[in-house]
Structure 1
Amino acid sequence: MTAPHPDTAAPRPASGTKVDLRKFAWLSIVTAILTIVLKTGAWAMTGSVGLLSDAAESTVNLVAAVVALIALTVAARPATERFLYGRAKAEYFSAAIEGLMIFVAAAVIMVTAVERFVNPRPLENLGIGLVIVVIASVLNGAVALVLLRAGKAHHSITLRADGKHLMTDVVTSAGILVGVGLVALTGWERLDAIVAFAVGVNIIIAGISLLTESVSGLLDKALPDEDHEIITEILRRRTDGVSTTFHGLQTREAGRERFMTVHVLVPDEWTVKHGHDYIEDLEDELKGALPGLTVLTHLEPISDPASYEDIPEAHVPIHGDDHDPTRPPQS
């Protein structure tokens, strides 16, 4: 494959302006405040330990939303002489903190549930209390969907974590509604505590998931398989097996940022400008397929054995089993 002529090469796309994600954090903060007011009122009217635990989780939601706002503010700051690659990983700290706070909420819920199981109390004003919880749950569910969609669209683990956190609150409220409803139907007051304890266990599972994702991000986990498929499809299409090929593909993500490195092997006789033009065109295609991707390339002569001695130990396979990336292709 030959490089495009400089006069006909496609122009490099302008860097897209990043969306300010802090507006979503503010939405989460306002929602948390409203749900705290609603659920606290429902608990005060009914005396249900389940509703008290639900209100406690909403308080945790508020603190988590504030942490998310701080993380998004830090992550949005430009690179400096001290932080040459920016601060995108600040989002992972936010997700880790949210995961830990979910554990705190679960502990409060479970301890309170055990105490109420041992010392059951009659519930009052269940009708109005349940209506209030339903309203709060609908509000939380709607905002959770907004955050999850925004997190997926903008590759923000902070928004995904906050959305998952709110969704666990919705699950909590649903469980509490079931428990309180069963108490009203059966008269068995300990059901309220049993359901609250079960909800606490479910919240712990959600917290473990958030912590796992945040730790993986801090350890530079690879891009998702669907991103790898897009990248390798482009590289395979540009490979002819004789004059151009690729190996040593590695990827990672840091918050909203996505990175890849790959070795580009080209004919020995190409000039520096020829190789540079080819790489520019390749990078444009990759960035067009995955907006926001930072592409780092290493140009090497295809017939030099030394070009096959620096392949990273861990890398993403690009070609099929019939292609040996550690040996020069045979003409």
Structure 2
Amino acid sequence: MSDRHPHDHRPHGHPHDHRPHGSPGPRHRLAHRLAHLLTPHSHETAEKLDPALESSARGMRALWVSLAVLGATALAQAAVVAVSGSVALLGDTVHNAADALTAVPLGIAFVLGRRAATRRFTYGYGRAEDLAGLVIVLTIAASAAFAGWAAVGRLLEPRPVAQVPAVALAALLGFAGNEWVARYRIRVGREIGSAALVADGLHARTDGFTSLAVLLGAGGSALGWHLADPIVGLAITAAIVLVLRDAAREVFRRVLDAVDPALVDRAERAVRAVPGVRGVGELRLRWIGHRLRAELAVVVDGEATLRQAHAIAVEAEHALLHAVPRLTAALVHADPAPAPGEADPHLPLAHHAVA
């Protein structure tokens, strides 16, 4: 016996709103009215935004704001490159432009994530975010390679930096723009559970460090030490590699369905507290985009009726939805408590077990 319907809690008569952030404010209601005009919708949700749709909308907003800020930063730096001829600043400008363009794969992933599940993609398209995260990791790796290549090239052929004050100002602008975008992306990504958006924020932070390298290199060049720029560039390349390691670890864990063990413990505690649950068997959590799904088995009284066992399963699922952040659905299977002399009811499945 299992509870197989995704949530939406209306089939069980639960009037609860499980959104962790409470009722939508005036701005959210305005966004809902606009979405009501521009997208397919259902009147069953009345005045409330679906949490998954709202989180995707926040992700999209974060991407477009980031694209605008970094695009403006890159354009301003390009103007300084044109008058100064700074190769280091040119590299930083290209780096910032590339970072702005990482909004494209994430934007595509968020749009795909809103599509309904199909007979072929029965879990929907949320995993597109994980693919976008891989693209971003590759972009960070390419950025590190480019920064290292530029630093080595300047080390082999040192040259003075012209228009040092303008280059220094552009470098500060690049750092400020990237750090603001990094904080914004990381904050929103963690709030909506998007590893890809967090990785993109870490990427923006590496770009800010690259801008600081340009600033320090220009300062050293102004003092007559032409090797300052390439040496600092190599140090920043090492920093980018460290950030790449952290971002890659987070994204690859998500691709391999890793979850925080504390979430598993929290889910088990919530289910064990449900009346009628005698034990918790196998429990699995997995991310699909920035939303969680759960599968678990609960042990109930072997003499319980089918309706009673189903009611316990529903309450277990209900408890999970309250206890685990960003959980949108759970599949709960009820196992009868073993009786003396009774054969294992799962024995017919034994020969399918993986050795």
> How does the TM-score come out when normalised to structure 1?
0.82
Alignment of 1:117-132 (within 5 A): 117-132=155-170
Matched, 1:283 2:286: no
Matched, 1:266 2:303: no
Specify the SS of the correspondent of 1:306.
Answer: coil
Q: Secondary structure at the match of 2:197?
A: helix
Which position in structure 2 is the counterpart of 1:251?
Answer: 285
CA distance in 1, matches of 2:247, 2:147: 19
* Residue 152 of structure 1, aligned match among 170, 173, 190: 190
- Distance in 1 between the 2:83 and 2:238 partners? 26
What per-residue deviation string (whole Å, max 9, x for no partner) do you get for residues 46-103 of structure 1?
A: 4433322211211221221212111211122111222111011101111111111122
Is residue 56–residue 105 contact of structure 1 (8 Å, CA) maintained in 2?
Answer: no
Q: Describe the SS at the equivalent of 2:283.
A: strand
> What amino acid does structure 2 have at the position aligned with 1:51?
L
Tell me the secondary structure at the aligned position of residue 122 of structure 2. coil
How has the CA–CA distance of structure 1 residues 239 and 245 changed in structure 2, closer, same or farther, with 3 Å as cutoff?
Answer: farther
CA distance 1:89–1:239, shift in 2 (3 Å): same
- Within 5 Å, which residues of 2 pair with 1:140-179? 140-179=178-217
The correspondence for 1:113, drawn from 151, 162, 165, is 151
Aligned equivalents of 2:114 and 2:196: distance in 1?
Answer: 12
AA aligned to 2:289 is: G
Matched, 1:226 2:229: no
Q: Output aligned runs, 1:34-45, within 5 Å.
A: 34-45=72-83
1:13 matched to 2:16 = yes
2: distance between equivalents of 1:270 and 1:155?
38
Instruction: Report the more deviating stretch, 298-307 or 79-88.
Output: 298-307
Cα distance in 2 between the residues matched to 1:90 and 1:196: 34
Q: Does 1:237 align with 2:237?
A: no
Asked if 1 retains the 8 angstrom alpha-carbon contact of 2:70 and 2:177, the reply is no
CA distance 1:12–1:284, change in 2 (3 Å): farther
**RMSD of aligned residue pairs (Cα, Å):** 2.6
Which structure 1 residue ranges, 5 or more long, are not aligned?
A: 1-8, 315-331
SS at match of 2:285: strand
Which one-letter code corresponds to 1:197 in the other structure?
L
CA shift in 2, pair 1:227/1:151, >3 Å: same
**What residue ranges of structure 2 are gaps of 5+ in the alignment?**
1-11, 19-49
Which of the numbers 219, 235, 238 marks the counterpart of 1:198? 235
Secondary structure, counterpart of 1:252 in structure 2: strand
Distance 1:36 1:284 in 2: 49
Match of 1:79 in 2: 117
- The one-character-per-residue Cα deviations of 1:11-68 (angstroms, maximum 9, x if unpaired) are 2635743211212111122122112112223334444333222112112212212121
Task: Name the CA shift for 1:112/1:291 in 2 (closer, same or farther; >3 Å).
Answer: closer
The total of aligned residue pairs comes to: 302
Aligned pair 1:298/2:333, yes or no? yes
1:95 to 104, 127, 133: 133
Q: 1:313 to 1:231 in 2, by over 3 A?
A: farther
CA distance in 2, matches of 1:274, 1:236: 17
Which residue in the other structure is 1:136 paired with? Answer: 174
Distance 1:217 1:313, change over 3 A: farther
Kindly provide the CA deviation profile for residues 269-328 of structure 1, in whole angstroms up to 9, marking residues without a partner as x: 1111111111111211110122431211110111255257679999xxxxxxxxxxxxxx
Matched residue type, 2:14: P
Percent identity over the alignment is 26
Contact 1:262 1:296 (8 Å CA) reproduced: yes
**Aligned 8 A contact 2:136 2:200 in 1:** yes
Amino acid at match of 1:269: E
Q: Output the CA distance in 2 between the equivalents of 1:51 and 1:239.
A: 64
Poorly superposed stretches of 4+, deviation over 4 Å: 307-314
What CA distance in whole angstroms lies between the structure 2 residues aligned with 1:267 and 1:13? 28
The residue that corresponds to 2:254 in the other structure is 217
**Corresponding residue SS for 2:124:** coil
Distance 2:204 2:353 in 1: 40
Aligned-partner SS, 2:304: coil
When residues 165 and 307 of structure 1 are mapped into structure 2, their CA distance, relative to the original with a 3 A threshold, is farther
Cα distance in 1 for partners of 2:239, 2:76 equals 23
